[in-house]
Amino acid sequence: MPFPDLPDRLSDVRGRIAGAVARGGHGQSVTIVAVTKTHGADAVLAAWHAGLPDVGENRVQEALAKQVDVTLPVRWHLIGHLQRNKVRLLESFALVQSLDSERLAGEIDAFGRARGTPVDALVQVNVSGESTKGGYTPASLATTAEQLRVMTGVRIRGVMTMAPFDVPERVLRATFAGARETLTRLAEVGHPATELSMGMSNDYEIAIEEGATIVRLGTVLFGARPG
Ligand SMILES: *Cc1c(COP(=O)(O)O)cnc(C)c1O
């Protein structure tokens, strides 16, 4: 069986998640999205059999290739940048976590209206302001929140953020708290926004202490990525 360590790794992760929820005091439940990018379809199957039905991929085409081999009712999350000309491929994703620009929002909205069911999406927020990261700045979100509200083809379920690497814990906490504030703003103006997707292998415990409801975990579950 591929990924023989996965059940043990997962049980360790679940213990750490419970500890972080208790320390953080937000009382939330936490969904693990198993990030299978660069692994084969066998990682998706291993995740499913270990009890992880939510899987994250950062490239649409790579995900679609795996979907051919995986007929189980996996919930596919798109966690990477989506090019506007690929929006029609969103059909096979349960949640787009990387809604990172107004133009993309417009395309997704049109797609959702045409198919008659809105696309569930998280707004990607760039809290740290790093130029290498995509997403809306928290400052621009007030205007954006209003614009998104009239889009009936997209349903904003929450916020996704990525923290900078190799920064002190207080910077991580400030980043995650900033994302949590943007979630509050979105909910205040009427979006059905409750999900806070933040935390990866190296920082998920802190993210959960700061209120994460979704963590996106690759390395800590599957080991180092190939390629
Ligand atoms: C790759 C990736 C992850 C998972 O990273 P790990 O450090 O392996 O847990 C999470 N989120 C996004 C957006 C990613 O691209």
Q: In this predicted model, what pLDDT tens digit does every residue of 156-202 receive, in sequence order? A: 999 999 999 999 999 999 999 999 999 999 999 999 999 999 999 99
The closest of 157, 150, 90, 159 to 123, measured between CA atoms, is 159
pLDDT of residue 49: 97
Ligand 1 centre distance from Cα of residue 216 (Å): 6
Residue nearest to atom 6 of ligand 1 (CA): 218
pLDDT of residue 131: 84
Report how far residue 59's alpha carbon sits from residue 79's, in angstroms, rounded to the nearest whole number: 8
Ligand 1 centre distance from Cα of residue 58 (Å): 8
Report how far residue 134's alpha carbon sits from residue 98's, in angstroms, rounded to the nearest whole number: 9
Using alpha carbons, list the distances in angstroms from residue 216 to 19, 60, 80, 146: 17, 17, 12, 28
pLDDT of residue 196: 98
Contacts of 35 (CB under 8 A, 6+ apart): 55, 56, 57, 58, 79, 200, 216, 217, 218, 221
Task: For the chain, list residues with pLDDT below 70.
Answer: none
pLDDT of residue 130: 85
Report how far residue 142's alpha carbon sits from residue 134's, in angstroms, rounded to the nearest whole number: 17
Ligand 1 centre distance from Cα of residue 116 (Å): 31
Residue nearest to atom 11 of ligand 1 (CA): 216
Q: Which atom of ligand 1 is nearest to the CA of 160?
A: 13
In a mutational test of the pocket of ligand 1, which residue from 216, 219, 220, 221 has the highest number of ligand atoms less than 8 Å from its CB? 216
Ligand 1 centre distance from Cα of residue 201 (Å): 7
Specify the amino acid at residue 188: E
Q: Which atom of ligand 1 is nearest to the CA of 98?
A: 13
Ligand 1 centre distance from Cα of residue 113 (Å): 30
Ligand 1 centre distance from Cα of residue 222 (Å): 12
pLDDT of residue 47: 98
Report how far residue 96's alpha carbon sits from residue 107's, in angstroms, rounded to the nearest whole number: 13
- The whole-model pTM stands at 0.97
Q: Where are the alpha helices (DSSP H) in 74-224?
A: 102-115, 141-149, 169-188, 204-209, 219-222
Residue 163 CB-half CA count within 13 A: 33
Pocket of ligand 1 (CB under 6 A): 35, 37, 58, 79-80, 162, 200-202, 216-220
pLDDT of residue 1: 75
Asked if 211 and 24 touch (Cβ cutoff 8 Å), the reply is: yes
pLDDT of residue 134: 87
Residue 62 parent element (H or E): helix 60-69
